[in-house]
Amino acid sequence: MINRAQLDKHLFPILATSIGLVIVFVRYRYLEIPFERDEGEYAYGAQMLLSGEQLYGNVYSLKWPGIFLVYAFIISIFGATIWGVHFGLLVVHLLTTFVVYRLCRTYYPHLSSSLAALSFMIFMVQKEIQGIMANSEHFVIFFLSISLLLFFRYRSKKHNGYLVWAGIFSGLAFLTKQHAIGYLLGIAFVLIFLKLHHSKNTFSQKAIRLSLYGGGVAVPFVLVLIWILLFDDFDRFWFHTFTYAREYVGLTTYEEGWFELKKRIIENFSVNPFLWAFATFGVFTLNFLRPSKYLQRIFYPLLIGSLMAISLGLYFRPHYVMFLPLVLSLFLAHFYHLITKWKSSLLALMLFVVGSLTYFIIDREYLFQWDHNWTSNRLYYGHPFREAVKVGEYLSKNSEEGDEVLVVGAEPQINFYSQRKSVTGYIYTYPFFENHPFVDQMSDEWMEEIRSNPPKYIVLMGHWITYIDRENEIFKKIWDFSTEFIENGNYQRVGIVDIPIDDGIAVFGLEVKNREPESENWIYVYEKQE
């Protein structure tokens, strides 16, 4: 019988290296895949910051400033390119996996913790949670994993400094995406009911712990608020991230939310059935080992917090599922440890191998397909993200520094690729089609900003899914305004790109004359004539 020492010495290092290389290979292969919309928004906002411009004065976003600061940090190190951002994500993924291992190692042996960390690594690359896209959730999880590690250290060392720093990193997570509030509430709940050894859990002890942690959480948030108040447009920030965001959270019905939740569950279990099942089994068997009785008061509140994080607004978007693997890695470590105790380390290792290989086989096209065009189409379902690169490259080469661009649609990555500022802070038209009381105010302001500062270039997106409902009165309002503005403003068409680009044309300059799109969906580029 192979014992644990032999596994650690021979089999496990080979397995861990193999899995790690596979995941690095998958991420490396996707380094140059085009940005989707959220990535484009974050990159463009970071571009504004790095160029010394106001963030919320130029990007009317309901996203909090942390993600723009993270992108600015990554771009300043790895470069203002798709490759640079995605390479930064690869580094963050590897760092987070190591922190997750240290988290699990707090309570479980090396083998169980390592298998849990490798499972986490696989979860976070799934296409069903948009794992290869540099969504804000990746960076939230990175900050939260460090926060939880510091919190666990506080529990064992009883040093208040760990708790303050745990709060600071939780605050960074919260500053990066509002959904992190679920984890923060989970940690706060644990602090209320946490009992350190045989000391009394008095009200004053609870208050001190919560104050230390809450004070840490407030530090990055207060500092950024002061920065926005002094150097940015605070009114814009407050309106879009609080006033409008409050309305946005309530737009989804319970029926719509339940439909999306079921869809996410089916998607993830169908492509990676064993690892998700092992994590679920770990959730329901946490009380099977005596030492884990205490852990129930830590792990379960964190699990509830992660469920709150993915449920905010009842949207249940694919990338929201990323909030689950962090806490599920703790339950996975328990599962593998339980198998080791009941049977053997070899069985635990075999179960992980079966689970990971099953995922690699089921999702093999996504993981190992070399055709970037095929992959992009499958990932983006016909959205114009590859086409946006072509438009951005044309604008970058043919416009001058200081020229401003209007993108009518929802592709802010075009402004990033072209390195040209948007003429309006409304870089998406989505808010105009939502059912909230600010629709007319926003759309009127959008039109006024365009009238008062006519752009040098206009990118008109004929990607009809973007506008949700072409019979919508607001759609007709902004579409009629855009076409009339182009017609009356002496603009000439200088670019046509079909969507998808594989099925049609991409022509610019003189070649545009007497050409029309071959696809139902298209992009037109217009230049203002002197």
How many CB atoms are located within 10 Å of the residue 247 CB?
16
The CA-based dihedral angle spanning residues 238, 435, 467, 137, taken in that order and rounded to the nearest 10 degrees: 50
What is the rounded CA–CA span in Å between residue 48 and residue 123?
33
What is the rounded CA–CA span in Å between residue 499 and residue 483?
20
**pLDDT value of residue 108:** 92
**pLDDT value of residue 197:** 47
What is the rounded CA–CA span in Å between residue 77 and residue 79?
6
User: Which stretches of the chain drop beneath a pLDDT of 50?
Assistant: 197-198
What is the rounded CA–CA span in Å between residue 324 and residue 304?
10
Q: 421 in helix, strand or coil?
A: strand
**In this structure, are residues 45 and 37 in contact, taking their beta carbons and an 8 Å threshold?**
no
**pLDDT value of residue 10:** 62
Length of the chain: 530
Q: Which residue has the tokens 């608020």?
A: 225
Measured between alpha carbons, how far apart are the two ends of the chain, in Å? 83
How many CB atoms are located within 10 Å of the residue 73 CB?
15
**In this structure, are residues 31 and 90 in contact, taking their beta carbons and an 8 Å threshold?**
yes
Buried b (16+ CB within 10 A) or exposed e, 177-209: bbbbbbbbbbbbbbbeebeeeeeeeeeebeeeb
CA distances from 242 to 132, 238, 247, 318, 366 (A): 29, 5, 9, 24, 38
Q: Which residues, other chains included, contact 412 with Cβ-Cβ below 8 Å and sequence gap of 6+?
A: 37, 40, 41, 44, 59, 422, 427, 428
State pTM to two decimals: 0.94
pLDDT per residue over 45-67, tens digit each?
A: 999 999 999 999 999 999 999 99
CA distances from 70 to 136, 204, 211, 336, 409 (A): 9, 37, 27, 34, 25
Q: Tell me the CB-side half-sphere exposure of residue 404, using CA atoms within 13 A.
A: 14
Q: Which residues, other chains included, contact 429 with Cβ-Cβ below 8 Å and sequence gap of 6+?
A: 408, 409, 410, 466, 467, 478
Question: Which residues lie across from 527 on neighbouring strands?
Answer: 457, 492
CA distances from 160 to 151, 165, 210, 301, 530 (A): 10, 9, 11, 21, 66
